[in-house]
Amino acid sequence: MSATLAGVRIVVSAGPTYEDIDPARFLGNRSSGKMGFAIAAEAAARGADVVLVAGPVHLETPAGVARSNVRSAAQMHAAVLAALPCAVYIGAAAVADFTPRACSPGKIKKQPGQDTLVLELVQTRDILAEVAAHAQRPRLVVGFAAETDNVAGYARGKLERKRLDMICANRVGVAGCGFESDDNALLVIDATGERALGPAPKCELAGLLLDLIKERLA
């Protein structure tokens, strides 16, 4: 029997962000959005009032979910903050850490003899950390950490630095897990310790994660 989340307002961010370089090009990443969409779908199926802030992905909007489409990290930041207050924020998006200082109004042309191009990038705002420090802080702020090595160590660092209640860490760069895959395995870390979830399909993991979240809300 699934834990019910009737009436609980949950904001989920999902997918990559695209940071425009010029009208034809952008900096992006390999997030498929599947994990965040699975969480939004499962939360809505359990009766939650779900807002899904989605980066540029071609995934169907889950039944009963209010979707806000964004492209850049700055747009995602604005949409997530506009969706507060909520009881739970789950930052499953792969937000760009850096964005071009300026988007060129015209297509950047290569010049004769030009071997290199230097792009100046500036740091984006950390949506998750800002939500966790916000005057309207949700009761639970949950982050994700995709790591290639030292998964638990880096994730624990992010949990503390960003003042989160829970972080879901996963290893990327291994076949059958993480970006683009339908399956995933998560190490969920909070003040009470660590729990390994999966490997399992992302929709099943979403349910297990929401069971933990429901417990923490009780």
Q: Is 145:135 a contact under the CB 8 Å cutoff?
A: no
For ligand C5P, what does the binding mask look like between residues 96 and 125, x meaning CB under 6 A? -x--------------------------x-
Binding ligand C5P by CB under 6 A: which of 39, 45, 141, 145?
A: 145
Q: Binding to ligand C5P by residue 138, rule CB under 6 A?
A: no
Classify the phi-psi angles of 20: left when phi > 0, otherwise alpha if psi is within -120 to 50, otherwise beta.
beta
Cis peptide before 62 (omega within 30 of 0): no
Sign of CA dihedral 123, 126, 129, 135: positive
Look up residue 44 and give its DSSP letter: H
Nearer to ligand C5P, 65 or 145 (CB): 145
Q: Binding to ligand C5P by residue 128, rule CB under 6 A?
A: yes
For ligand C5P, what does the binding mask look like between residues 20 and 59, x meaning CB under 6 A? ----------------------------------------
CB of 182 to ligand C5P, least distance (A): 20
CA dist 43 and 59 (Å) reads 17
Which contacts (CB < 8 Å, 24+ apart) does range 214-218 have? 214/3, 214/4, 214/5, 215/3, 216/140, 216/165, 216/166, 216/190, 217/8, 217/87, 217/88, 217/139, 217/140
Q: Is 69 a catalytic residue?
A: no
Q: From 22-30, 50-58, 87-95, 184-192, give the range in contact with ligand C5P by CB under 6 A.
A: 87-95
Instruction: Restricting to residues 56-75, name those near ligand C5P by CB under 6 A.
Output: 73
Cβ neighbours of 68 (radius 10 Å): 17
Select which of 29, 150, 170, 184 is catalytic: 29
Report the interface residues with ligand C5P, using CB under 6 A.
13, 73, 91, 93, 95, 97, 124, 126-128, 143-145, 158
The residues annotated as belonging to the active site are: 29
